[in-house]
Structure 1
Amino acid sequence: MTRFRSDFLAEAHARGFVHQCTDLEALDALLAAGPVSAYVGYDLTADSLHVGHMISIMLLRLWQRTGNRPVVLFGGGTSKIGDPSGRDESRRLMSEAEIAANKEGIRKPFARLLRFGDGPTDAIEADNADWLDELRYIPLLREVGVHFSVNRMLSMDSVRLRLERDQPLTFLEFNYMILQAYDFRELYRRFGVRLQMGGSDQWGNIVMGADLIRRTDRAECFGLTVPLLATASGAKMGKTAQGAVWLNADRLAPFGYWQFWRNTEDPDVGRFLRLFTELPESEIVRLEALRGAEINEAKIVLATEATALLHGREAAEAARKAASGAGEEGLPSVTIPELSNGLPAFQLVARAFGLASNAEARRQIRGGAVRLNDAPVTDEAQLIGPESLRDGAARLSLGKKQAVLVRAG
């Protein structure tokens, strides 16, 4: 096993964060010499990040916890183009007002998960609109474009896969990797950033940025990617049958976020405990060794610790208590006193699964995602009361993987 001098790489490697790195040995030596600045970029394509982004946010948190400075880069400029990585079609072009509103939403989880300030290891925010909006096209082509080989750009996955599938790639999108490389160089020049981190689908863009800095500034910078996570069953992390698992509480209530982690597949428990909590390795080893019904203890710990990081300990404990108790199949139990007098189906679904709104619950019912005691719920206004309870509880399902026992008290 590789032995690292730096605390960051030792823990990141042990917890499963490291997928690729341009030069692990040289990065390790740089980190061992003192604090280093690194960034992760987030395009502003929605008003909330989703749980698939948590792996990079947790990596930034670990970066700061091990004595380094994280830089959160918002893509106010690149969001006007759209990243073609991993997509078969172009993104819809957004207005500047939409991008600004999305930025305000996306900032929320960072305020809780990172420490911002003026100290040497305090996190800072940047927005690439600050420099990309000011670029003049011809000077950019002459000063930066000359360092980019079209042959190499065509070989990058973000371009090659789109072309192989005979999907159109606009010239606007083709410029994306040049601008991302420019971002890396600008952050190096402005803040001394030496490392860009991101998902493995960003590897080509990251390498291009490090190469641009080497060519124009004669400096060595680094790239590190995290694995693109899929669950044991092959589902993409952050996506469910009901849509994205949002990080903002106004898009998904803390209880719904807790439930997502509580429904983790058995083989994923240890891996997710390492990536999405800060529990010590000894405790994770104990929890991942549990078998049978006891694995539910580990899932409850995972759900509570992950929720506490994002929404606070109080909200996490409230979610845990709301789901306390287990019945058939080890399902979590939710007590809803109003069930004694009857409750419209959409209100029951919203409360039981912690959905962000009644409108979302109505949409799920209309889409055929809800079942009560294994029977489809088709009328969103259907009154559900004590007559639906069997031995004091009713089994309520949302999609194929989320189910709870609802009780009246």
Structure 2
Amino acid sequence: MRISKLAMVGVAALSVNQLAYADAVEIDAMSLLNQYNLITSGNVISTSEIDGNALIGGNVTGGMYNMHATSNAVVPSLTVGGDLNGGVQTKGKGVNIGGNVSGSLNINDGGDVYVQSVSGTVQNSANGHGSTSVVGNISGTVSTNGGNTTYGGVNTGTAAANGGGNVYNQPVSVPFDPAAAAANAVNTLGQFSNQLAGTDFNSDYTISPSGKVTFTATPNTDGLAVFNINDGESFFDSVKEFSFNLGSATSILFNVFDDALSEYDISVNFLANSAVDLADMMLWNFVDADSLHITSQFGGSILALGTDVVTHGNIEGTLAARSLNQNAEIHSQPSGFIPPSAVPVPAAAFLFAPALLGFLGLRRKANALKAAA
């Protein structure tokens, strides 16, 4: 059995106001992976797009978010704990930025938009279905088309409302704290990753001399196949292709381990379009990765809570990581993965509630446990 460790580094109380996007309800780990297409505890730098919603704990620079909006989402299209820089576009409904907007933020499909302050540009095409609220000062430009613009501080720039809206100078209350929401979600997924890492494997793989890996599933009665990949860094350095013999498997878990925090260069060809066709079944749990560099299309959702990720190949599924430097698309593939029945799926307490859970993604296994598995 594999065991990983998640270190908690603090708990702080924060006050939040009445929620505008959703009631304060518990959202469990699998719901997080389906409500969001990207979750990070740290910064995101992007030159590409994300199909679904994004929850970013740090700063965001660039990128296009919720470009293929999902109708069942109850969370904003973009939530950022820190500042927003560069040019950012969103579709879908709703934005909540915990810091300053110094770049340009274009909200194409409206919804309610909350930002802390604006020294750059915010353009909200609300079209009668939302408004723009600035908690503090405006020294740049804020414009709402078909809705109101409200600011709580001082306006030394431009505050505009077109298409029948009005401009108000009055106190602004945010629906929830974005940094707290991100930290809470990351903590929940970190617990989930730890629990999955302790699941006994029941399936195996072979590697041909040419570097082709054949994963052969022997699922349990619930349809879950579990593969353990030891010495993961060396594994991904040496393999070139993935093929799958799944039999009756309906969910596939890959636990990837190393002796210490490791750097992964992943350039693998998922044969027979399996990166897309099997994406909703696969969950990759990178227990000890310090960095991931993905250079080709990768199939399945990824848990890598203590990991800095760089992409030059598309990801088919949700990514949960420490930080992201994005140079390829992340596609929404709603997960049909069903966790092991022995693994409780932790709820994110209250995702938009006042508890901010500290997180440190340093998770290593005991070498003796690894050797004994």
TM bin (shorter chain) = under 0.3
Greater Cα radius of gyration, structure 1 or 2: 1
Structure number with the higher helix fraction is 1
What TM-score, normalized to structure 1? 0.23
Task: Answer 1 or 2: higher relative contact order, Cα 8 Å, separation at least 6.
Answer: 2
Given the two structures, how large is their TM-score scaled by the length of structure 2?
Answer: 0.25
Q: Larger strand proportion, structure 1 or 2?
A: 2
